[in-house]
Structures are given as C-alpha cells and as structure tokens.
Amino acid sequence: MTAHPLLSVEHAQKRFGGLIAVNEVSFSVKQGELVGLIGPNGSGKTTMLNLISGLLKPSAGRISFGGEEITGLPAYQIARRGIARTFQLVRPLASLSAIENVIAGAAFGHVRIWGPDAYREAEILLGRVGLSGRGNAPSGSMTYIDQKRLELARALAGNPRLLLLDEWLAGLNPTELRIGIDLIAGLRDEGRTIVMVEHVMDAIRSLCDRCIVMSSGAKIADGSAHDVLAQPEVISAYLGSEDA
Amino acid sequence: MTQMRSQEWWTLAVAAIGLAVAAAIPLYDDGYYLSLSVNIAIYVVLCTAWTIFSGPTHYISLATAAFFGIGQYTVGLGIESYPFAVLVATAGVIAAALAIVVGMATLRLSGVYFVIFTLGLAELVRQVVTWLQTNFTNAVGLYVFTDFGEKHVLWMLLALAAVIYATGWLINRSRLGFAMRIIGNDETVARHVGINVAWSKVVLFAVSGAFIGIAGAILAPRYAYIEPPSAFNPVLSFQVVIMALLGGTSRLWGPLLGVIPFTILFDFISAHFPNHTSLLIGFAFVAIVYALPRGVIGLVDDLRRPQAGAEKARTSAEATQ
Amino acid sequence: MDILITGTVLGGTYALIALGLTLQYGVARIMNLANGENLVLACFCAFWLQAAAAINPIQALFLVVPAAFVLNWLIYAIVLTPLVRRATHRGQLEVDSILVTFGLMFILQGVMLLIFGGAYFSYNFLAEPVRILGQNYGLNRIVALGAAVAMFILLYGFLYRTRYGTALRAVAVDPAAAGLVAIDVPRMSAFAFALGGALTAAGGVLLSTYYTFNSAMGVIFTMKALIIVIMGGVGDVRGAVLAALLLALAETAVASLVDPGLTLAATYGLFILVLLFRPQGIFGRQAT
C-alpha cells in the first residue's frame, strides 16, 4: 500500500456564474478505500464527482490522480487514466445490446480489448453483476435495476483504478438494495478504490470506511461513518438545527 | 468485431454482381446510357463517401463541392508534369488535410455551425483559387488532355465505389465505427469510456473528404476544361445531400436508393426544363423533411418493424442534441 | 478613413440583414437559410416598384416591409409550425429547419430566376455624390445608413423598453421558462420570425439603392448574415450590430488594401477565429 493517496482534491471550486456549487473542498482517497460522499440535496456532491470525472472543469483548485495532475483535463483523458463512473440518471447506450454496452467500457480505456477477447471478458462481467446470459438483450428495454447493473459492469469493464458511483443505490426496493450493497461490498473486498455519493444511510454505514460530508458546497466533516453521522453539524445539515 | 454473418456474405455477393453488371455497360452502349451510368456512378461515389461521415454523426456537410474542386484542380494543375495516379492520390491527401482543418475548427461545436461553415467553404476555396490563378498565371481555366474515355472514367469510378464501400464496411466493424455508435447514443458516456469524440468525427470527415477529392480528380479528364465556377459548383453539395437523405443514411447502401431516381429525374429536368432545376431541388428538400425524414431506408425499416423504427428515431434524434 | 466610412455604411446594411436572422434564429429557433432570398426578393420588389410605379425606395419601404412581415408569418405558420410541433428537442428542429429552408431557398431562387432571369439589375436613386472629409460617397449609401440607424433605434427601443419586446427576449433565452411565466411562446416565435423577415426585407430595399443585384446572390448574403449572427452571439441584437460593423470594416479593408477578390476569405478568416477562440460570440453566454 503506497503512502501517497490515489486521489487528491485540493481546494476545488466550481462556480456557475454567481452560484458556488463546490466551495474550496479538499480531501484525499487512499488506494483500496471505500469513501462515502454524503450530504443533503444540493450540497454539491454530484458536481464534485463531475469535477473528478472531467464532465466539468474546476473554476479553481487542483485534482491529482495517482500522483499525476488531472485538473481540467477532458473527460476522455481522465477515463483513459483509469477513472470510471456511473451516472445519477442511468445512461444505458440504448441502441446497443447489453454485451456491447459492457465492451464499450473496455474498448477505449487503458485496457483496450477488442474482438473475441472483449466478448469473453464482457460475459464474465455480466455474470458478476447478475446479468449472465442476457448479453444480447437490448439495453434500452431492460428494467431499471438491470440497467444500473449494466452501467456498473460497463464501468468495471475498463478495470478502473478509481470507481465513482453516483447514487447508484437510489430507487431500489429492499431486495434489490440488499443485492446492490453486496455487489459493492464484493468490489471493496477485491481492493477497488471507490467513491460513492449516496443518500441511503444503511449502505453508508455498512459499506464505507470513511465519509465526507458536504453541505452547501463546502466540506463539513471527514471521518469514519460512525463518528461523522453523530456530529451535530452533520445532523443539523440534514435535519435542521432543532434536531441537533 | 464478429465473424462475417451470412447476411453479410449475401450483401457482398449482390454488390459484386451489381458492380460486374455496371462495369459491363460500356460493352453495350456508347452514348446516352453510358453517360447516364457515369453520372449515376459519380453520385453513388459522392453520396456514399458523404454518408461515411454524415450517417453516423448526423452532421450535414456541404463541403462536397470544395473537396471535389480540389480534386479537379490537383489534376488540372499537375497533368502536364506528373502521372495521373500520383495526382489522384495527392488530391485525396490535400482534401483530407482540408477536412482535418475544417473539422478541428467546427466539429467541437453544434451541427448548425458546421453546416454554415461548409456552406461557404466551396465559395471560399473558389475565391482563393480564382485569385491565385488570376494573379499568378495568365488564365483562370485549365486544360486537361488525356487518353481517358468515358468508359475508363466509369471503370475508375466503379473501382472507387468498391473501395469506398469496403472502407465503410471496415470502419463499421472497427473500434471507430463502434465509437461512432456510442457517440450517436450518448456523447457524455462516450467521453467517459475514453473516446476522443472530436477526433473521431474529424477522422471520419477526413476519410470522407479524401474520397470526394479523389472522385474529383478522376473526373477531371472527363471535362477537358476546368474552371472555378464548375469545379467548385455549390449546387453539387446540395445535390449530394438530397440524394443521400432521400435514400437514407442509416445504411451504407442507402444513398443508392436516392441517387438512381434523383439523377434520372434531374437529368430529365435539366434537359427539358433547364430553368426549373432550382425548383426541383427545392421541392426535394421539402419532400425529405415532411415525407422521408429518414429516407427510403427509414420507410422500409418502419414498415418492417414499426417499434424499432420509432426507437431509432428517438435515439437518432437524441444524437443530434 | 475612406475605409471606415465605406465600411460603416456597408455595416449598416449588413446589420439590418443580420438582425432579421438573429430574431429568427434566436427567438423562433429557426435557422432560416432562405434569408438571403428574402433579401433579394425585396430588392426586386423595390426595383419593380420604382420602374413600374415610380415609387421611390423610401416609400417602397412602407409597402415592402409589411408585406414581408405577412409573408414570413405565413411561412412560419404553414411550413414551420408542423416541424416545431414534431421536434422532440432543439437539435432536431435545427436540422429540420435547415433542410426545409434550403428547400425554400431553392424554390424562391427558382421562381425569381424564372421571372427575372439571371441578369444583374440596378437602378438610380439619389446617386449624386456627397463630399465627406475630402472623398466622394453616394448619397444613396448615406441615406441607406441613416434609414438603417433609424430602424435600429426603433428596434432597440422595442426590444428593451417595451413589455412585448422583453417577452421576445425571454423566449430567446429560454422558451420553456418563458412558457411558464405565461408568455405565449408559439405566438412570440411566429412574431419574431415575421419581424425578422420584415427587417431583412427592409435591408434588401435599402441595399437595392446602391448595389447591383441578381437572382442568385442570396446565398452569399445568407452566409454573411449567419456568420454575423454567430459572431455577435446568437439571439443578441447588440452583438449582431457590432459584428456586422466588424465584418463590413474587415471586408472593406481587405478589398481596398489587399484584393477585392479575397473578401470572402477575410470573412471566413474572421469566422474561424471566432469559432476557435470564442464560439459563443461577442455577447453570447459561455457554455459551462
């Protein structure tokens, strides 16, 4: 385990005109950690993920990955360096089949497999997320949970060094939630580094080594899930100051 | 990515037979039908090359006349000094270079900017060429004298068409073709799986432009005298767009369905009602938008699988966002 | 100095034409590629009125401009509204409107070719020279500039000082939100399209007083208008005026100092620079 963090965010800021969505946020993620990024709606969590994945350029601050600066790089270059993500509103590539979706995640990144090899690896991944045998299904007409699994498989296909999950457990019923949490736990046990934006507190408590709490664009807490969720600032950010 | 499916073997067989039949035409006719075949071949080449780019990206390029003119002028300028084959290849390279420059400037932006830019590109190149010729040489036109007859031109065009189809087919099966399908579905996802979206579009544009330039070069001998207004004729760009859209751009052979009827119709109108050609083009555009938004191919798709047709419309509509 | 004045005069006419397209694209979201034909049609109308009825161009303005307004309203209502309704989002509407207006462009051009042929036309109106700062300029050009300026002032007042004008600008910024604040978006779009067409027609009438025109020149003007609209920032009227002036000055400078055969190259050069360094235009909003 290296001493240097895998991901390092320093004083990241994102402004949209007069609105400051991410306000001088700094944190780091070590290799193999599963960090939860939590906070009430509108706190800037997804924007923070978007800054890391390259969907948005930071207005100020630095982001480094594996010791290399990635601030302001276009998304495709960040993806090629080994960061993969899922999206808050699931984005299946609707006119592609399930297996093609998975191959899409692998064909262009640093893995770059193609042809029969790609199909074989994709089949394995589909099995991993619980979609074995469904490779030829049109992804546009799959159920919501299946599309989510597909998106996860696509993100994993590139063998990312860092996986970003944007509210991946949202909208699942209790059974599906159980399956989802187990899936992510499995990924953590493999040693993958994961940052997950989440609202589902059970998942946060059971999965995350560490939690970073954001509110109104700023970071207000950073520590173990248990400690952080008991802090008065965090409780008041979610529920209002009366319940602290 | 996969093995050749049996459907593809069929298509290959049909294409080979079609090419052989077309190549045999000079053996049977020396006049009108040969000439018409050459005209059809020209547009098949141009429209298919156009579709290689505009099909997957849904960008409407009006740069065809610019690339074509470059091809004509490359041959016109060099025919005294260099072998024909070298000039044809050079034309392809120059056209590709222009495509790369234009593409890098405009393909990062929305489709509308691209259309506008290419609209004037032929005029721009024409102005520059005219200016260069009037100031540095004595005449504005160029003479191209070769031993090539109409049938040689036809065979060269057919060979070029075969190369274009083969290239298009190879691209579709390649990583680039896959990337374009992904881009067509969701550009954000494309970027996040590591696809350099702008560059992919530029490469396709360059390939398409190169083929159009080569076509222009091959056709220089047919006209014997080249001058800017006809070499860089903007109406050519519009005709190519109409024929490709009429046929449908979702398949590589879609434009064929547009080229054959439209070329015959256009030939007829220009022969009998020469002042009405603009009207024909105008009505064709209107017809495409209202009756055939995805071309004849789209209609056929709709009839075979109405659900899939609507799905395709939705995803291709999302793609133009 | 000569370049400045000639360029400014030309800029005035360009600005009128571009303003028309700004309204049509910025508010109604229609990229009207038949804009140039609209212009040429107005030129021919002014010519015909002068030749057949001895109505001078300034008077002709009062006939042609309302006629253009009605014609463009009809075009929007009959030809374009079905496209607006069926477009699922903006990108598709843009593509459809480009194709349809190409069609209109060819049809209008075809009709004009049939009626007037391909010959060049011009007529005399206030062609006496006027001395400004030691150089001669045609009075007709000066009058054209004056009329153009008068129209800008009226338009600016309308857009920025009246409720109706502000509603138009709201639709340009965000049609969905405008609908939510009880602005009748379809009606506004039709109005903007018609008004845009009327402005372009006004530009055409003024242009015909000093420019030799023919049936086929519409495309060049459409291109220039498009470039000006993009350079100025889509939907922004002030930007369009500024960009029109810049373009006209650049063209005039190149024509006088370098070579008149390279004016389009100058236009394109400017356009490329804008696309590369500031694609949202001078006054446009930066895309995040």
Residue B307: the pLDDT is 56
Q: Which of A30, A23, A90 has its CA nearest to residue A51?
A: A23
| Chain mean pLDDT for chain C | 83
Determine how β-strand A210-215 pairs with β-strand A34-38: parallel
> Strand A83-85 vs strand A162-166: parallel, antiparallel, or unpaired?
parallel
Contacts with C32 (C-beta within 8 Å, 6 or more apart), sequence order: C21, C24, C25, C38, C97, C101, C193, C196, C197
Provide the sign of the torsion angle of the four alpha carbons C274, C277, C283, C285, taken in this order: positive
What is the per-residue pLDDT across B196-228, written as a single tens digit (0 to 9) for each? 999 999 999 999 999 999 999 999 888 878 888
CATH number of the domain at A35, please.
3.40.50.300
pLDDT tens digits along A107-124: 998 878 888 888 999 999
Asked whether the beta carbons of C16 and C211 are under 8 A apart, the reply is: no
- B277 vs C contacts (CB less than 8 Å): 110
Q: A167 and A49 share a domain?
A: yes
- Confidence label for B182 from pLDDT (cuts 50, 70 and 90): very high
The reported pTM is 0.85
Q: Which pLDDT belongs to residue B1? A: 45
Confidence of residue C121 (pLDDT cuts 50, 70, 90): confident
Is C40's Cβ below 8 Å from some Cβ in B? no
pLDDT of residue B318: 43
Q: Do A211 and A96 belong to one domain?
A: no
B258 vs B143, which has greater pLDDT? B258
Question: Same domain for A167 and A244?
Answer: yes
Q: What's the rounded Cα separation, in Å, for the pair A201 and A189?
A: 20
Q: Which of B116, B278, B293 sits opposite C110 (nearest CB)?
A: B278
Q: Is position A185 within any domain? A: no
The percentage of residues in chain A with a pLDDT greater than 70, rounded to a whole number, is: 97
Same domain, A131 and A98: yes
* Same-domain pairing of A9 and A73: yes
What is the per-residue pLDDT for A7? 93
Q: Is residue A184 part of a domain?
A: no
| Low-confidence residues of chain A: pLDDT under 50 | 1, 244
Q: Which of A155-169, B143-157, B294-308 is the least confident region?
A: B294-308
Give the pLDDT confidence of C233-246 residue by residue, as tens digits: 877 788 888 889 88
Give bridge partners of residue A19 from the DSSP assignment. A16
Q: Is C130 helix (H, G, I), strand (E, B) or coil?
A: strand
For chain B, what is the radius of gyration of the CA atoms?
20
Could you tell me where the DSSP H helices lie in chain C? 2-22, 35-53, 57-74, 81-86, 90-116, 139-161, 163-173, 175-180, 185-208, 218-232, 237-253, 263-277
Q: Are residues A66 and A112 in the same domain?
A: no
| ipTM of the complex model | 0.89
Q: Do C103 and B285 touch (CB under 8 A)?
A: yes
Question: A168 with A134, same domain?
Answer: no
Q: Is the pLDDT of residue C26 over 80?
A: yes
- Chains with ≥3 CB–CB distances under 8 Å to A: B
Residue A177 lies in a domain: no
Residues 166-225 of B with CB under 8 A from C: none
Category of C208 on φ-ψ map: left (φ > 0), alpha (ψ -120 to 50) or beta: alpha
C96 CB neighbours in chain B (<8 A) are 289, 293
Contact B189 A158 (CB under 8 A): no
Strand A60-65 versus strand A210-215 pairing type: unpaired
Query: pLDDT tens digits, residue range C37-62?
Result: 999 999 998 888 888 887 777 888 88
Q: Which residue of C has its CA nearest to B101?
A: C272
The number of folded domains in chain A is 2
Q: Within an 8 Å CB–CB cutoff, is residue C234 touching chain B?
A: no
* CB-based contact B63:B120 (threshold 8 Å): no
In a domain, A183, yes or no: no
Q: Which domains does chain C have, with CATH numbers?
A: 2-277 (1.10.3470)
Give yes or no: residues A129 and A77 share one domain. Answer: no
Q: Is B28 on the interface with C (CB under 8 A)?
A: no
Do A70 and A168 lie in one domain? The reply is: yes
| A26-30, A141-145, B46-50, B113-117: range with lowest mean pLDDT | B113-117
Same-domain check for residues A105 and A73? no
Look over chain B and give the mean of its residue pLDDT values, rounded to a whole number.
85
Q: Give just the sign of the alpha carbon dihedral B198, B119, B128, B232.
A: positive
Minimum distance, in Å, between the CA of residue A240 and any CA atom of chain B: 36
Residue extents of the structural domains in chain B:
6-233
- Judgement on whether residues A87 and A76 belong to the same structural domain of the protein: no
A63: left (phi over 0), alpha (psi -120 to 50) or beta: beta
- Alpha-carbon torsion angle C146, C148, C153, C154, nearest 10: 120
Q: Which of C95, C214, C278, C288 is the best substitution to test chain B (most B C-beta atoms within 10 A)?
A: C95
Residue B186 contacts A, CB cutoff 8 Å: yes
Contact B35, B150 (CB under 8 A): yes
Q: How confident is the model at residue B309 (pLDDT cuts 50, 70, 90)?
A: very low
Sign of torsion, CA C204 C210 C213 C219?
A: negative
Q: Is the per-residue pLDDT at B317 higher than 60?
A: no
Structural domain boundaries enclosing A147: 83-160
Q: How far apart are CA C41 and CA A84, in angstroms?
A: 56
DSSP string covering chain A, please?
--SS-SEEEEEEEEEETTEEEEEEEEEEE-TT-EEEEE-STTSSHHHHHHHHHTSS--SEEEEEETTEE-TT--HHHHHHTTEEE--SS----TTSBHHHHHHHHHHSSSS---THHHHHHHHHHHHHTT-TT-TTSBGGGS-HHHHHHHHHHHHHHT--SEEEEESTTTT--HHHHHHHHHHHHHHHHTT-EEEEE---HHHHHHH-SEEEEEETTEEEEEE-HHHHHH-HHHHHHHH-GGG-
Instruction: List the beta bridge partners of residue A63.
Output: A9
**Are residues A227 and A123 part of one domain?**
no
Q: In the beta sheet, which residues pair with residue A68?
A: A65
Minimal CA separation from C8 to chain B, in Å: 24
Determine contact: B143 vs chain C, CB below 8 A.
no
